[in-house]
Structure 1
Amino acid sequence: MAEKQEQPEHNLPLEGEGQSKELQRNKRMKCFAYVLAFAVFQTGVILIFVLVFLKIRTPKFRLHSATFENFNVTASSFQMRMNAELDVKNANFGPYKFDNSSITFFYRGAQVGNGFISKASARFRSTKKFNVTIDLSSTKLPSSAELGSDLKSGILPLTSHSTLNGKVEQMKEKENGEAALLGDGKSFNHGGCEAP
């Protein structure tokens, strides 16, 4: 019975056992640090992917060049045909598909011509070029001294306006509506054939 009453010995950790537990703790902390660093790296990669590749940019729509034919210019009126080369620059990582539209030309705020733009698609990260024929005429304009002086000088200031409504398709599922605008002013020398 004396054996039963003996006090149990306290289990004191041995010196080697404490070092191995410390080594295991250090290994766990190192593993946790690696997992955390990998998670931060993956988050950064995903964030860069979303901000660079999936960001929808509005396509640029502009009048690239124009040539003129069938000139009929008098001291107070003009009538001519314009062959305009338009382009849509798509900087997105998906095709931009736009609908039918029109382009309108103005002389000092008054409409002098209108052209039809048929629906098409600009491939991803490329420029789609197409031609539009527009008949320009001043027959609907009131007679003014400005028109006569502009025609006399050989420079005809025209402005244009057009809107292309379409969608950018990315990753075959995501579609967003975008509108590309054309609104610029150009002065055309009707003494020559090329637009500046």
Structure 2
Amino acid sequence: MAEKNQQANGFTRRDEESASLQSDELKRKKRIKLAIYIAIFAVFQVIVITVFGLVVMRAKSPKLRLSDIEFNSLNIVQGSSPSFDMNFRAQVRVKNSNFGPYKFDNTTATFIYGGATVGQLIIPKGKAGLKSTKKINVIVSLSSSQLPNTANLGSELTTGTLTLSSTAKMTGNVELMLIMKKKKSADLNCFITIDVAAKNVRTLQCK
């Protein structure tokens, strides 16, 4: 009887030791899984922060463009005293590709022929929302009366075209997450070719 009790006690101890080993093994596996989950989460956080910093918090320069020119009047004189005088409606577009609004200051756009200024346009200060384009309707008046020499103008008008350029530098701030402001500027650099006979815009290219 004593021998049977001793054997039973031996089996019980082995069962307890086996159960303890299994419990320790389960705990070890759980700790490993937890460590793996923590590592995956940490890597995911690093990726999210990196993408956020490179994409969301990176301020890009807005784009400034001139478009949709429609003439109200266009008077062109050829001959010994060539000249032009025009008035047109147009649209100025401020394209903001940032994840925050772009607030810009008053901007002066200058129209040039042959290196001389023939007119200017004041673009009023405003705001282009995040990932959007601000469209501003304007009226422009240009005249050749300020040209120091009209010889080149007369030569070009005989070809049936009139070529103008427009330049401007817009300054402002991009607001990111409502707490960070970054200064950014936008440049206007457009070339306008007018068909003298048809009295309309043949080409309008902005860089």
How far 1:175 sits from its partner (Å)? 1.2
Indicate conservation of the 8 Å contact 1:69/1:193, yes or no: no
CA contact (8 A) 2:74 2:199 kept: no
- Corresponding position: 1:160 with 2:160: no
User: How far has the Cα of 1:69 moved from its partner?
Assistant: 2.9
Alpha-carbon contact 2:62-2:97 (below 8 Å) kept: yes
**What is the aligned partner in structure 1 of residue 10 from structure 2?**
none
2:135, 2:117 → 1: CA distance?
A: 25
1:38 matched to 2:44? The reply is no
- Per the TM alignment, residue 19 of structure 1 is displaced from its structure 2 partner at its CA by 4.8
**Code of the aligned partner of 2:61:** T
Please state which structure has a larger fraction of its residues in helix.
2
Is the Cα–Cα contact under 8 Å of residues 86 and 129 in structure 1 kept in the other structure? yes
| 1:140 corresponds to | 146
Aligned residues: 184
Between stretches 164-173 and 137-146, larger displacement belongs to 137-146
My pick for the range that moved more, 16-25 or 38-47, is 16-25
- Of 121, 127, 133 in structure 1, the residue corresponding to residue 127 of structure 2 is 121
* TM-score of the two chains, using structure 2 as the length reference: 0.80
In 1, distance between residues paired with 2:89 and 2:196? 14
Judged with a 3 Å threshold, the aligned counterparts in structure 2 of structure 1 residues 143 and 108 are, in CA distance, closer, same or farther, namely: closer
Mean Cα displacement is larger for which, 184-193 or 17-26? 17-26
Q: Percent identity?
A: 42
**Counterpart of 1:108?**
114
Stretches of structure 1 that go unaligned for 5 or more consecutive residues are: 1-13
Counterpart of 2:64 in structure 1 is 61
Change over 3 Å in CA distance of 1:150–1:19 after alignment to 2: same
Letter of the structure 2 residue corresponding to residue 80 of structure 1: M
For 1:191 and 1:68, locate their aligned partners in 2 and report how far apart those are by CA, in whole Å.
Answer: 14
Task: Write the mapping of 1:164-175 to structure 2, written as runs, cut at 5 A.
Answer: 164-175=170-181
The CA RMSD over aligned residues, in Å, is 2.0
For residue 169 of structure 1, report the CA deviation from its aligned partner.
Answer: 1.3
Report the Cα distance in structure 1 between the residues aligned to 2:91 and 2:200, rounded to whole angstroms. Answer: 12
Offset of 1:56 from its aligned partner?
Answer: 1.3
Corresponding residue for residue 180 of structure 1: 186
The aligned counterpart of 2:90 is 84
Q: Structure 1 CA distance, aligned partners of 2:135 and 2:97?
A: 14
Unmatched tracts of structure 2, length 5 or more: 1-16
Corresponding residue SS for 1:153: coil
Question: Runs of at least 4 residues of structure 1 off by over 6 A?
Answer: none
